[in-house]
């Protein structure tokens, strides 16, 4: 089947490549010629394990191509996926929908046959219905808007697209074409549906809320265990053992119960803020008021780690040499958007320390955000003469570290485990001062 994907950022490029992998004839569209040129050469503009192999395989097979031409895309297919960014507005909590509106306003006048625009982007509830009216007002043919939210995890995006936990499709159930839209999307996802991936058909608002509710729940779970870790520190309890005990309860589960420096990235922080903003617009701000504290807990974790670093350096960071291992917001990603690790490194630098960072994949992105930090090309280089080492992203390269790897490199044998991912007994037995979050 033919389809297009508008936006070739993290979401759009992955979706385009994976739709081609499912056997469809796909055109990816972006206004950035540089991005289009890279993708056309089989080079992803970001790091995602396995994505470039999928890109190259489908480019070579002729099932995938990229363009800047909306006219070419409009003529190519009648199913158009919308995967552009919805960042947080500057100075506000609300989502910025300019890119979404721009795609719809540019595409719909070019459509010459009945078409469906299928939203993948995370948007405030009510956006899809408004876009449907907007699209029909500017098109000479029938246009439907549906919403098919993504649930990708960075680092697992290819497998999450090809074999998702669930497929959610929101349609305008008051429109005569709702059944036609459902049939088209079922055809596109025929392979995962045949593999027993659950397919849930909903109204537009439910589909939109499914995505933001999932992110709000995950953010709440992370902030919950981080709040409990503060109590553990005050009492001498061990939050890692406590989390294991909670995780055995099938109603709770162990995932997302790892105390640490908190969550970040391009989704959870901005999505819970947009959720709060939209709830306020709807007069339901009281219903999600707890998310404000979820956000505050998460932000405070960063200051907590900075304060731990200051204590490790004798009470002040001025003049200290600090090594930070990890700047991406999570392992298997080069994404530094709202990264706790990079934010902590920047705050330590602002307190007067000399900060040297290393990350296996995110150095280039980090340097663009914080050019005043020092950037190393290895763990050893980053830790040379360090007064304290901070592990802030749990890359395998860092969790595999042993005290003897750094004994002769650092100035002071002191380590802060911002992800509780190291064996503290091993480090302490080797004579290191080890500090974790919520651990004795």
Catalytic residues: 267
Beta strands 321-325 and 354-358 are: parallel
Structure tokens at 335: 């994404």
For residue 389, the Cα-to-chain-centroid distance in whole angstroms is: 26
The H-assigned helical ranges of 236-284 are 239-247, 268-281
| In contact, 415 and 322? CB cutoff 8 Å | no
CB 103 within 8 A of CB 65: no
The count of other CB atoms within 10 Å of the CB of residue 291 is 20
> For residue 108, what is the DSSP state?
G
Residue carrying structure tokens 């349609």:
171
- Walk across the sheet containing 199-203 and list its strands: 64-67, 25-29, 2-6, 79-82, 115-119, 143-147, 167-171, 199-203
Show the tokens assigned to 42: 């089989």
Place of tokens 């902590």: 344
First to last CA, the chain: 57
Exposure class string for 373-396: b at 16+ Cβ within 10 A, else e: bbbbeebeebbbebbbbbbbbbbe
CB 230 within 8 A of CB 298: no
Three-state SS at 168: strand
Write out the DSSP string of 31-57.
Answer: S-HHHHHHHHTT--SS--TTHHHHHHH
């Amino acid at each position: 089947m033919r389809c297009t994907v508008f936006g070739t950022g993290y979401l759009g490029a992955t979706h385009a490549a994976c739709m081609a992998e499912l056997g469809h004839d796909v055109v990816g569209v972006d206004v950035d010629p540089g991005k289009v040129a890279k993708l056309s050469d089989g080079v992803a503009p970001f790091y995602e394990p396995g994505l470039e192999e999928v890109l190259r395989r489908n480019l070579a097979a002729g099932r995938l191509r990229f363009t800047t031409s909306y006219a070419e895309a409009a003529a190519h297919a009648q199913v158009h996926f919308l995967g552009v960014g919805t960042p947080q507005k500057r100075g506000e909590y609300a989502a910025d929908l300019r890119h979404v509106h721009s795609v719809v306003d540019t595409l719909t006048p070019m459509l010459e046959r009945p078409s469906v625009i299928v939203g993948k982007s995370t948007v405030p509830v009510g956006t899809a219905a408004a876009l449907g009216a907007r699209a029909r007002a500017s098109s000479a043919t029938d246009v439907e808007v549906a919403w098919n939210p993504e649930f990708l995890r960075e680092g697992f995006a290819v497998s999450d697209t090809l074999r998702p936990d669930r497929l959610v499709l929101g349609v305008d159930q008051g429109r005569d074409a709702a059944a036609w839209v459902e049939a088209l999307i079922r055809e596109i996802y025929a392979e995962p549906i045949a593999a027993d991936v659950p397919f849930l058909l909903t109204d537009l608002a439910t589909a939109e809320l499914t995505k933001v509710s999932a992110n709000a729940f995950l953010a709440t779970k992370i902030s919950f265990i981080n709040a409990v870790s503060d109590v553990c520190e005050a009492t001498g309890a061990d939050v890692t053992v406590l989390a294991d005990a909670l995780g055995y309860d099938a109603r709770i589960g162990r995932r997302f119960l790892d105390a640490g420096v908190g969550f970040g990235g391009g989704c959870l922080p901005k999505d819970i803020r947009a959720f709060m903003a939209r709830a306020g617009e709807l007069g339901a701000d009281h219903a999600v008021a707890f998310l404000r504290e979820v956000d505050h807990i998460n932000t405070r974790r960063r200051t907590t780690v900075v304060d731990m670093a200051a204590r490790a350096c004798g009470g002040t960071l001025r003049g200290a040499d600090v090594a930070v291992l990890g700047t991406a917001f999570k392992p298997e990603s080069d994404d530094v958007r709202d990264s706790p690790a990079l934010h902590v490194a920047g705050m330590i630098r602002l307190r007067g320390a000399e900060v040297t960072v290393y990350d296996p994949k995110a150095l280039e992105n980090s340097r663009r955000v914080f050019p005043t930090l020092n950037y190393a090309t290895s763990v050893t280089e980053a830790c040379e003469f360090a007064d304290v080492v901070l592990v802030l992203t749990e890359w395998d390269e860092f969790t595999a570290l042993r005290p003897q790897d750094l004994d002769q490199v650092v100035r002071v044998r002191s380590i802060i485990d911002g992800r509780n991912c190291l064996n503290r007994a091993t480090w302490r037995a080797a004579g290191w001062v080890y500090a974790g979050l919520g651990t004795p």
